[in-house]
Structure 1
Amino acid sequence: MTNLYLVRHAHSIYTPDEMGRPLSKKGLLDTKYINNLLEDEDIHIVISSPYKRAFQTVEGVANHFNLEIEIEFELRERKLSSYPIDDFEEAITKVWEDPSFCLKGGESNKIAQQRGIACIFKILEKHKGKNIVIGTHGNIMVLIMNYFNARYDFDFWKNLMMPDIYKLSFEDNNLKAISRVLIN
């Protein structure tokens, strides 16, 4: 079995700089819970989105297991638009209602999901039989999970915690189970 621990990043401080947005004080404290939850999981590899908040969220796990964090650009958050959005709720609802719809300069659910899934299959091929922590983001994480099971949808995304962890267990490229790693 190959186990992927998809870790949605902890709470971050909002800035328009998607790449450099850091964790908040609360987010930094929450990374200790993640470390505690995963310290007994025999982690072999830690991969992260290039975004600082995702990297910071899994950094303690990598340190615990004395691992370097591999950066995987394709695990970045979905780009909603290249322009500021006046009504985030309206925009995010619309892209989830129509998987092919995208705002100007943004990614549709379909395109973002294809990007995320291609990356997941590449990871599964490269690291077969390993336990892998992946620092990522809510939208792309749920789009990846949705590829395997439609129950992971917009309503599911709206109820994610920050941080949150889901373990996906695979035999080859076949998903066998999804379970939540409970956060205190």
Structure 2
Amino acid sequence: MLKLFVTRHGETEWNVEKRLQGRLNSNLTANGVRDAKLLGESLKNTDFDMVYASPSKRAVETAKLIMGNRAMPLKTDERLMEIHLGEWEGRTTEEIKQTEPDLHHLYEEKPHLFKGTGESFVDVKQRVDSILQDLEKAHQNGNVLVVTHGVVIKVLQTILKGRSLEFVWDPPIIEGTSLTIITIKDGNRTLLLEGDLAHKEEKHLF
């Protein structure tokens, strides 16, 4: 049985500013660094065969913080990158609401119909489907850590639940370093945990 431990990168400066990142990048905040270390501590007894991360700096840094001093192979894959938001990247949500209210409404309320100057959610689903299939082929057993982005994980949830992209924003919210766990056995995919933050809630124990 393959067990996927999927997490979002830690909180970044642009997350705090409510500024869209997409393919651009901003640094992890002190909270983001701390939370990644806490997740690593909570997973210290889990042996990972491989770590896959989005090539974005915030994801790679989060992966390394989770890994800590453990020697684990790390591989980046562009299919794990955040949705490409084109001209929206680097701008705040409020700015976009004011300048492009109709398009922003689609993004928030009808994501299956959204298409800006970058990717659509359909585009993201195609690459998430692709890497999920490749992970199944490459790792039939064992534990694999995947460090990626919020939209990627939300799209992954719809795939696993067999739901339309129309419902991509349905709860739970995927916060920084939240943990989603999936098992795959004989082609059967099971979502065990979604957006879990237990490692942050128990930070006083470490």
Q: TM-score, length-normalised on structure 1?
A: 0.86
Cα gap change, 1:36 to 1:122, in 2 (>3 Å): same
How much has 1:121 moved relative to structure 2? Answer: 1.0
Aligned residues: 182
Structure 1 residues 121-160: aligned runs within 5 Å: 121-149=133-161, 150=163, 153-156=168-171, 159-160=173-174
Question: Is 2:193 the partner of 1:179?
Answer: yes
After superposing the two structures, state which structure 1 stretch, 25-34 or 58-67, moved more: 58-67
2:191 is paired with a residue whose SS is strand
Residue aligning to 2:107: 95
Q: Distance in 2 between matches of 1:19 and 1:83?
A: 10
Residue aligning to 2:12: 12
After superposing the two structures, state which structure 1 stretch, 22-31 or 80-89, moved more: 80-89
Rg: which structure is higher? 2
Return the match for 1:57 from 52, 58, 62.
62
Cα gap change, 1:153 to 1:79, in 2 (>3 Å): same
Residue aligning to 2:204: none
Cα gap change, 1:88 to 1:5, in 2 (>3 Å): farther
How much has 1:39 moved relative to structure 2? Answer: 1.0
Answer whether contact 1:5 1:166 (CA < 8 A) is retained: yes
Q: Distance in 2 between matches of 1:88 and 1:166?
A: 30
How much has 1:20 moved relative to structure 2? Answer: 4.1
1:6 is paired with a residue whose SS is strand
Task: Quote the sequence identity (%).
Answer: 19
Q: Distance in 2 between matches of 1:68 and 1:88?
A: 42
Q: Distance in 2 between matches of 1:77 and 1:125?
A: 23
1:99 is matched by which residue type in structure 2? H
Q: Distance in 2 between matches of 1:7 and 1:52?
A: 15
Structure 1 residues 24-35: aligned runs within 5 Å: 24-35=29-40
How much has 1:163 moved relative to structure 2? Answer: 2.0
TM-align CA RMSD: 2.5
Q: TM-score, length-normalised on structure 2?
A: 0.77
2:131 is matched by which residue type in structure 1? C
How much has 1:95 moved relative to structure 2? Answer: 3.1
After superposing the two structures, state which structure 1 stretch, 133-142 or 35-44, moved more: 35-44
Q: Distance in 1 between matches of 2:186 and 2:69?
A: 27
After superposing the two structures, state which structure 1 stretch, 169-178 or 32-41, moved more: 169-178
How much has 1:43 moved relative to structure 2? Answer: 1.5
* CA distances 1:122-174 after superposition (whole Å, capped 9, x unpaired): 111112102011010000111011111139730326x2222211001111432
Structure 1 residues 75-90: aligned runs within 5 Å: 75-84=80-89, 86-87=95-96
Instruction: In structure 1, list runs of 5 or more residues that go unmatched.
Output: none
2:83 is paired with a residue whose SS is coil
1:155 is paired with a residue whose SS is coil
Structure 1 residues 65-76: aligned runs within 5 Å: 65-76=70-81
1:175 is matched by which residue type in structure 2? R
Q: Distance in 2 between matches of 1:118 and 1:17?
A: 20
Q: Distance in 2 between matches of 1:138 and 1:70?
A: 19
